[in-house]
Chain A
Amino acid sequence: MSLFNSLFRAEPREQVLTERAFSELVERQQRPLLSLALRLIGNWEDAKDLAQTAFVRMWQHRQRLEAGCDLAHYLRRVLVNLCIDHLRRRGHHALHLAFDETLFVPADSNPQHQLEDNETQNRLWQCLNALPPKQKATLILREVEGYSVAETAEILSCSQNSVLGNLHLARKKVKEKMQPWLAAQE
């Protein structure tokens, strides 16, 4: 190879994502990704569209992916950003109108428990939906999806302190709204 080529022509990058690998990734990640989108958005049509956009966007930008990067994290980052933008555009205060609680059915078979759970869960969803999009995404990633603070920060592309701050605000707001309800139950 000439000096010019060695200096100015980059080696062709190794293909991180082949079509077959992508197909397998869709198969593996579609359920968790759809679940996450549903928890953030609350209705099937929008959640499906956003999850599909996240997959397609990753495929379009596959040349930028670096070897060894966590594709599942990358997908979540794209999806969460899409969901936050979607909520901001639509106005998160109007979310309760589009939120379909019937998609989230408790597994308990006892009708009495089911009724109580349903009421508490509906109230909890209302509190979560009233949060600003970023705080809601942070809380869901940390509490529901079970990511650590560092992983949540990576998915949201922000600092760990920012994640802790958002978590504190979100938990405080939810606690203030849920406390009377929880006290009455006890």
Chain B
Amino acid sequence: MQTCREFEALLSSYAKEELHVLQSERVAAHIARCEHCRREVETYRQLADRIRNLPAPELPEHAVQEFARAVLRQIAEPQPRRRSRAFDFFSSPAQQRWRYGLAGLAVLAFTLAVGLWYAPLEQKSRPATLLAPLLQARAWDQLYEGLLKKETRALLLHEPVPTELAKTALLDLLEKGAHDKRIRTGLRQLFVSVATHELALHEASRSAKILGVITARGYRPASHKRSRGYDPEKLLRKVQKLPAGTEITLAELVKSKD
């Protein structure tokens, strides 16, 4: 037998005859023997009557007339056109000229922005003067810092310098490096940095592994095939083989075969 709780949700709908026939019959059978639920149904009926008999609002006659006039006046006014429609862009000839002008300006601004954005990349092919002064001044610390920075790394690696300058600089580096611990450390860091960049460009997946070998074994990772090219003595041999008067970049030097 079903309890009052199970009928609770149906009583208000039963009072308003909103239930299906079968549900209605079940509720009727229940309330025939349940005094509590019968009273509930009666309360719902009374409430429904009271809600239905709530007085209608009094509408002032003049306000209703004014309302109708206001509605008709509002629809008679031209509605502001929606700017989101694609064809509105070409609507009025007077506005069209302005829009073409603005569109031209926008294209110009976009071109300028793209030009400025790619300007540093174009400098790679132009003879820059960043690496040469550093090599001349033997400013290894600054060169190392420059190679670490993303903004200047590409410029330093791809700036062509005379082979003579590269040769003297490398000789100087190797000679001093034999005695000066700071330069020796700098030298190692310089070539690790070059190696990192080159490997990141060509073989990103293996770079971390090779870099691990390089940093663990110092600046001469002779045991690893791919890192032999970064041995400064080999770099020097490579430079010495080059004909005098030519130019080479750091990247080409590292990548070229011995």
Contact = CB atoms under 8 A, between A and B. Distances in A.
Given A35-B56, A179-B43, A52 B12 contact: no
B72 A23 contact: yes
A38 B12 contact: no
Contacts, number: 94
Given A35-B59, A172-B12, A144 B52 contact: yes
Interface string A97-130: 0000001111100000000000011001100100
A103 to B, nearest CB: 5
Interface string A13-47: 00000010011001100110011001100001000
Contacts of B51: 124, 128, 139, 143-144, 174
A103 B58 contact: yes
A68 B16 CA distance: 31
A64 interface: no
B31 to A, nearest CB: 16
Contacts of A106: 55
B207 interface: no
A26 B13 contact: no
A34 B55 contact: no
B67 A60 contact: no
Interface in B43-91: 43-44, 46-48, 50-52, 54-59, 63-64, 67-68, 70-72, 74-75, 79
Contacts of B203: none
- How many A residues are at the interface, by size bracket? 35 or more
B175 interface: no
B79 A34 contact: no
A35 to B, nearest CB: 6
Interface of B: 9, 12-13, 16, 18, 43-44, 46-48, 50-52, 54-59, 63-64, 67-68, 70-72, 74-75, 79
Which 8 residue pairs spanning A and B have beta carbons closest together?
A: A171-B12, A38-B57, A143-B51, A103-B57, A59-B75, A55-B71, A106-B55, A104-B55
14 contacts: A30-B64, A30-B71, A34-B67, A35-B56, A39-B54, A52-B74, A56-B74, A60-B79, A103-B57, A142-B16, A143-B51, A144-B54, A174-B47, A175-B47
